Structure 1
Amino acid sequence: MTQTFPDYRALFTRMVDELRRQSLFVIERFTLAEPLSMSDIQALERETGYELTDDLRAFYAQMNGLDLKWFLDPAISDADRASFHLEYPDMDVENSSDEYASAAIRILPLRDVLTRDWGEEVYYEPDMGFHGQSLSTEDFHASMRPFDLFSDYRASILAFREKKDPAVFLLDDHHAVWDESRGTDVRSYLNFLLATKGQSDARKRWLFEYGGYDQRVRFDQGS
Structure 2
Amino acid sequence: MGNDLITPVRAAFPDYRALFTRLADDLSRTPLFVVERFSLGEPLSPADIQALERETGYELTDDLRAFYAQMNGLNLKWFLDPAISDADREAFFLEFPDMDVENSSDDYASAAIRILPLHDVLTRDWGKDVYYEPDMGFHGQPLSVTDFHASMRPFDLFSEYRTCILAFREKRNPAVFLLDDHHAVWDDSRGTDVRSYLDFLLATRGQSDARKRWLSEYGGYDQRVRFSR
Confirm or deny a common fold (TM above 0.5). Answer: yes
Aligned position for 1:204: 212
Do the aligned partners of 1:8 and 1:62 also contact (CA within 8 Å) in 2?
A: yes
Aligned position for 1:45: 53
Give, in angstroms, the shift of residue 81 of structure 1. 3.2
Could you tell me which of 63, 77, 82 is aligned with 1:69? 77
Give, in angstroms, the shift of residue 24 of structure 1. 1.6
Separation in 2, partners of 1:192, 1:99? 22
Do the aligned partners of 1:72 and 1:81 also contact (CA within 8 Å) in 2?
A: no
Which ranges of 4 or more aligned residues in structure 1 deviate by more than 3 Å?
Answer: none
Give, in angstroms, the shift of residue 62 of structure 1. 0.3
Could you tell me which of 215, 218, 221 is aligned with 2:223? 215
Give, in angstroms, the shift of residue 54 of structure 1. 0.1
Matched-pair identity in %: 78
Q: CA RMSD in A?
A: 1.1
Which residue type is aligned with residue 22 of structure 1?
Answer: T
Could you tell me which of 134, 149, 165 is aligned with 2:142? 134
Alpha-carbon distance change, 6 to 127 in structure 1, aligned in 2, over 3 angstroms: same
2:150 aligned counterpart, secondary structure: helix
Aligned position for 2:3: none
Separation in 2, partners of 1:130, 1:20? 40
Alpha-carbon distance change, 36 to 54 in structure 1, aligned in 2, over 3 angstroms: same
Which residue type is aligned with residue 67 of structure 1?
Answer: N
Residue 85 of structure 1 pairs with residue 98 of structure 2? yes
Do the aligned partners of 1:101 and 1:151 also contact (CA within 8 Å) in 2?
A: yes
Aligned position for 2:14: 6
Aligned position for 1:110: 118
Separation in 2, partners of 1:84, 1:146? 31
Indicate the structure (1 or 2) with the bigger Cα radius of gyration: 2
Matched positions, count: 216
Aligned position for 2:153: 145
Alpha-carbon distance change, 44 to 195 in structure 1, aligned in 2, over 3 angstroms: same
Separation in 1, partners of 2:10, 2:195? 13
1:101-156 Cα deviation digits (max 9, x unpaired)? 22000000000000000001100111111121111000000000000000000000
Aligned position for 1:181: 189
1:100 aligned counterpart, secondary structure: coil
Do the aligned partners of 1:72 and 1:102 also contact (CA within 8 Å) in 2?
A: no
Separation in 2, partners of 1:8, 1:80? 28
TM-score (norm 2): 0.92
Aligned position for 2:4: none
Alpha-carbon distance change, 102 to 81 in structure 1, aligned in 2, over 3 angstroms: farther
Which residue type is aligned with residue 81 of structure 1?
Answer: F
Could you tell me which of 155, 171, 174 is aligned with 1:163? 171
2:112 aligned counterpart, secondary structure: strand
TM-score (norm 1): 0.94
Give, in angstroms, the shift of residue 84 of structure 1. 4.6
Separation in 2, partners of 1:102, 1:172? 14
Residue 31 of structure 1 pairs with residue 43 of structure 2? no
